[in-house]
């Protein structure tokens, strides 16, 4: 789970001001604050990518429930929705009547979650990433690994303690 964070001391941003933070259980002084729920106009923090986040600072745990090897075009409508494809709220009644109200932020309308996913996939992977690289476009229908997970809004160590 990607979540930009900054490490600071727990007294710099008190819980009373509404800043979501997680305190290090090992020393009760270090804390992590999360950019997604932080006033970005406040300077002075060194934001770090999630790959450098200490284990104690995570606040969501993803439990893997299924792993499947399949062709890209075998994605189901439910799996396409789980990838974030939505029925567009701004797609007027005509689009709804004609079944062209699926898409993603900033995209045109599509007739199904799967066709919207195909457009999203090609917007990211539509041409080889490297010169002479493999074609992983929707049309090439590459083999993919589909991972299903259940999110838990807690640190992984809190899950283990509850078990």
Q: Please check whether residues 114 and 39 belong to one and the same domain.
A: no
Token code pair at residue 2: 């990607």
| Lowest-pLDDT choice from 12-21, 71-80, 112-121 | 12-21
Range of the domain at 51: 5-59
* pLDDT for res 58: 87
Q: What confidence tier does 96 reach under pLDDT thresholds 50, 70, 90?
A: very low
Q: How many domains does the chain have?
A: 2
Q: Please check whether residues 79 and 135 belong to one and the same domain.
A: yes
Q: Please check whether residues 37 and 100 belong to one and the same domain.
A: no
The percentage of the chain sitting over the pLDDT mark of 70, rounded to a whole number, equals 68
- Tell me which of 43, 59, 75 is where a domain ends: 59
* pLDDT for res 72: 96
Q: Please check whether residues 33 and 93 belong to one and the same domain.
A: no
DSSP string, 3-46: --EEEEETTTS-GGGT--EEE-TTTSSEEEEEGGGS-TT-----
CB 59 within 8 A of CB 154: yes
pLDDT, the chain, mean: 77
Q: What confidence tier does 143 reach under pLDDT thresholds 50, 70, 90?
A: very high
The larger pLDDT score, comparing residue 140 to residue 132, is at: 140
Residue 1 has pLDDT above 70, yes or no: no
Q: Please check whether residues 71 and 40 belong to one and the same domain.
A: no
d(C-alpha 133, C-alpha 152), whole Å: 37
Please check whether residue 162 lies inside any domain of the structure.
no
Q: Please check whether residues 67 and 122 belong to one and the same domain.
A: yes
Q: Please check whether residues 28 and 54 belong to one and the same domain.
A: yes
Torsion-angle region of 78 (φ positive above 0: left; ψ -120 to 50: alpha; else: beta)? alpha
The percentage of the chain sitting over the pLDDT mark of 90, rounded to a whole number, equals 19
d(C-alpha 82, C-alpha 130), whole Å: 29
d(C-alpha 60, C-alpha 39), whole Å: 21
d(C-alpha 137, C-alpha 123), whole Å: 9
């Amino acid at each position: 789970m990607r979540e930009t964070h900054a490490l600071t001391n727990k007294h710099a941003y008190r819980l009373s001001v509404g800043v979501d933070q997680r305190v290090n259980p090992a020393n009760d002084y270090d804390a992590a604050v999360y950019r997604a729920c932080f006033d970005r106009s406040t300077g002075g923090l060194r934001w770090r990518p999630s790959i450098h986040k200490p284990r104690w600072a995570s606040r969501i745990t993803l439990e893997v429930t299924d792993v499947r090897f399949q062709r890209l075009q075998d994605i189901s409508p439910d799996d396409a929705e789980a990838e974030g494809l939505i029925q567009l709220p701004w797609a007027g009644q005509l689009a709804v009547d004609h079944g062209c109200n699926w898409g993603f932020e900033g995209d045109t309308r599509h007739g199904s979650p799967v066709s919207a996913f195909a457009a999203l996939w090609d917007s990211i992977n539509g041409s080889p990433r490297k010169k002479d690289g493999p074609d992983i476009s929707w049309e090439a229908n590459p083999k993919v690994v589909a991972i299903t997970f259940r999110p838990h809004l807690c640190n992984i160590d809190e899950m283990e303690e509850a078990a």
